[in-house]
Amino acid sequence: MESMDFTSMIHGYWWIIPAVFFLLFYRWTFRLFGAVIVPQDSLAIVEKKFVIFGKNRTLPDGAIIALNGEAGVQADTLAPGLHWLYWPWQYSIRLQPFVTIPEGRVGVVESRDGKPLSSGRVLARHIECGAYQDARAFLSKGGERGPQITIIPPGTYRINTALFSIALEPVCEIEDNMVGIVTTREGKPLLTGEIAGKEVSGHNMFQDAQAFVDNGGCKGLQEQVILAGRYFLNPRFATVETKEMTDVPIAHAGVVISYVGDVGVDISGESFKHGNLVSRGQKGVCAEPLDPGKYPINTYTQKVENVPTANVVLNWATGKSEAHKLDEKLSTITVRSSDGFTFNLDVSQIIHIPRNDAPKVIARFESVANLVTQVLEPTIGNYFRNAAQGADAIDFLKGRKERQEDARLRISEALKEYNVGAVDTLIGDINPPVELMKTLTDRKIAQQEQITFDNQRAAEVTRKELEQARAIAATQARVVDAERSVQIADFNAQAAVKTAEGNAKAKTTNAEADAMVVKTVGAAEATKVQAVGSAEANVIKLKIDSVGQDNYARIEIGRALSTSGFKLVPDVMTGSDEGGGSVVNALLAVMLKDTLAKNADPGKTKA
């Protein structure tokens, strides 16, 4: 009963088995009926196994890909989807994923079929075929087999890999402050005498290789460089070598020496006869230097020689060198004096090269290092050797300052011819011979001993003077007292003299004053008396005129007698016949008596 149920179940669901088989092997099932299913991320490469009828049954000689239905790999591929009539016994179908070029990569293509490459070509020329997705167009338009000049940029493509093989290569990256120097493998041959191909336009920095070739680009090293950035370059067409940008430091001038360009025409002028200076774009030393900065220079076609325009110190001293290293091969100068001594001296020379003269220096010497070795080293060395031979060793050592100044003038004059300015010449250490130094040392010791003796003698003299000073200081008080006594006496004498002179002058002055007073008073009294007398005379005259002369006389006599105290009755009486005359005579006699008595006894009179 159970076996009958199982059998009936099988008969009822027999279709499940074919369905599962179909689901598992549906592609093969479709293939049995000539159908081909191509997934969405793939294409189908078709290979025809045989052709029974028709003239295009076999491929032409040398061909790999069939264009006209011949037996073989077909140029046309099957796109994603369902395709019929591709019977499995006649067609072999191979699914191929799309070709994907990732970011940062390029696809380098090589064709397995096509025309042979032209003579002299290493890359097949560009054929417009939709980035190699149209194999039929590529072959029918004359595409060439071999490495292709055109690359495939990043993206996804339906490419018949039976015809084209794709190799992934990194894109060209040029970093900041770098330049790319390009060498191409395709183009015209370089002309004889040329080392690099001239710049051509239209190739988008070598990314369009076919345009480069079509516009006359030459194979080999290129003058043109590429700057920082990302470029889709075919590495089989062009290789890129990255170099640092050319740096012209501050306080330098960059002199450009070009190995490419037109034939140079000298523009240095008649006065400069030691080399040619040319314009930019011509071969030779460019007359216009580069100022400080960074420049995208192709170091294979141009050379930039940096010339310092600031002061440069060069040391003729063994083991001593500046940062510029121009003097690293210079050594201490050895000289011989006229008296046969050999000694060494260190010298420093400061030079300056003007910016506009830098190209002339390079045109003549090629580099500043050559200037140092070919001119400065022999010039300065010979000067000091000649100077030393003209003087003995001791004089040379003593005359260092004068020798240094003379060297500066002589060397400056010599370097003008080479367009170099000599700023200063400095003499450093001088290492005289040992035997000469011993002589100088002995002489110096003797001189120092002599100085010591002189100092000791001077000290004794000073001590003697000190003792004398002390003795003098001890008696100085008495000397001062004596000197003060003398000075006081002198001052007293001078005071007495001055006093006497003052008294004399005072007396003289008083006498003169008294005399002047007496004289003045006398004159005044005289004037007064004269005036009074004159007045009295006038009064008397008037009185006389009024009373008469005799009567006036009598009146005055009487007035005088009344005020004099004389006795009116005289002690002596005289008689006379004439009454009037006798009285007068009597008075006169009395007055005469008194006068005689006074003159005889003045004291009695006073009493």
265-281 pLDDT, tens digit per residue, is 998 888 888 888 999 98
Mapping DSSP to helix (H, G, I), strand (E, B) and coil, where does residue 280 land? coil
Q: How far apart are CA 123 and CA 202, in angstroms?
A: 19
Q: How far apart are CA 418 and CA 327, in angstroms?
A: 18
Mean per-residue pLDDT, 441-454: 81
Query: Which band of pLDDT confidence, cut at 50, 70 and 90, is reported for residue 584?
Result: low
Token pair recorded at residue 392:
């003995």
Token pair recorded at residue 391:
């003087």
- Among 436, 460, 488, the domain-final residue is 436
CATH number at residue 371: 3.30.479.30
Q: How many domains does the chain have?
A: 3
67 & 177 share domain? no
Query: Which band of pLDDT confidence, cut at 50, 70 and 90, is reported for residue 541?
Result: confident
pLDDT for res 577: 47
107 & 232 share domain? yes
330 & 380 share domain? yes
pLDDT for res 19: 57
Mean per-residue pLDDT, 543-551: 71
106 & 232 share domain? yes
Question: 16-35 burial string, b = 16+ CB within 10 Å, else e?
Answer: eeeeeeeeeeeeeebbeeeb
Asked whether residue 252 carries a pLDDT value surpassing 80, the answer given is yes
87 & 112 share domain? no
Mapping DSSP to helix (H, G, I), strand (E, B) and coil, where does residue 398 land? helix
Q: How far apart are CA 71 and CA 367, in angstroms?
A: 71
Distant-in-sequence, close-in-space partners of 64: CB < 8 Å, separation ≥ 6: 72, 73, 112, 113, 162, 163
Distant-in-sequence, close-in-space partners of 435: CB < 8 Å, separation ≥ 6: none
82 & 109 share domain? no
- Among 380, 409, 436, the domain-final residue is 436
Q: How far apart are CA 107 and CA 442, in angstroms?
A: 89
Determine, yes or no, domain membership for 372.
Answer: yes
430 & 378 share domain? yes
Asked whether residue 173 carries a pLDDT value surpassing 90, the answer given is yes
pLDDT for res 590: 59
Q: Name the percent of the chain lying above pLDDT 70.
A: 80
229 & 320 share domain? no
319 & 369 share domain? yes
Q: Are 126 and 132 in contact (CB under 8 A)?
A: no
48 & 88 share domain? yes
Among residues 266, 128, 270, the alpha carbon closest in space to that of 208 is found at: 128
pLDDT for res 388: 86
Predicted structure pTM score:
0.65
111-163 pLDDT, tens digit per residue, is 999 999 988 899 999 999 999 999 999 999 999 999 999 999 999 999 999 99
In angstroms, the Cα distances linking 334 to 320, 339, 345, 388, 438 are 16, 15, 7, 10, 20
In angstroms, the Cα distances linking 600 to 70, 593, 596 are 215, 11, 6
pLDDT for res 578: 47
Mean pLDDT taken over the chain: 83
Angle at which helices 434-474 and 476-547 pack, to 10 degrees? 50
Mean per-residue pLDDT, 318-334: 89
Asked whether residue 600 carries a pLDDT value surpassing 60, the answer given is no
pLDDT for res 444: 75
Determine, yes or no, domain membership for 211.
Answer: yes
Q: Where in the sequence is the domain holding 90, given as residue range(s)? A: 20-96
Q: How far apart are CA 340 and CA 291, in angstroms?
A: 51
Distant-in-sequence, close-in-space partners of 194: CB < 8 Å, separation ≥ 6: 218, 260
Determine, yes or no, domain membership for 280.
Answer: no
Distant-in-sequence, close-in-space partners of 56: CB < 8 Å, separation ≥ 6: 68, 69, 70
Determine, yes or no, domain membership for 492.
Answer: no
Question: 272-296 burial string, b = 16+ CB within 10 Å, else e?
Answer: beebbbbeeebbbbbbebbeeeeeb
Q: Are 51 and 166 in contact (CB under 8 A)?
A: no
Token pair recorded at residue 92:
């072999």
Q: Are 285 and 276 in contact (CB under 8 A)?
A: yes
50 & 146 share domain? no
Residue for token digits 């003008």? Answer: 416
How many helices (H) does the chain have, and how many strands (E)?
Answer: 15, 26
Determine, yes or no, domain membership for 172.
Answer: yes
223 & 206 share domain? yes
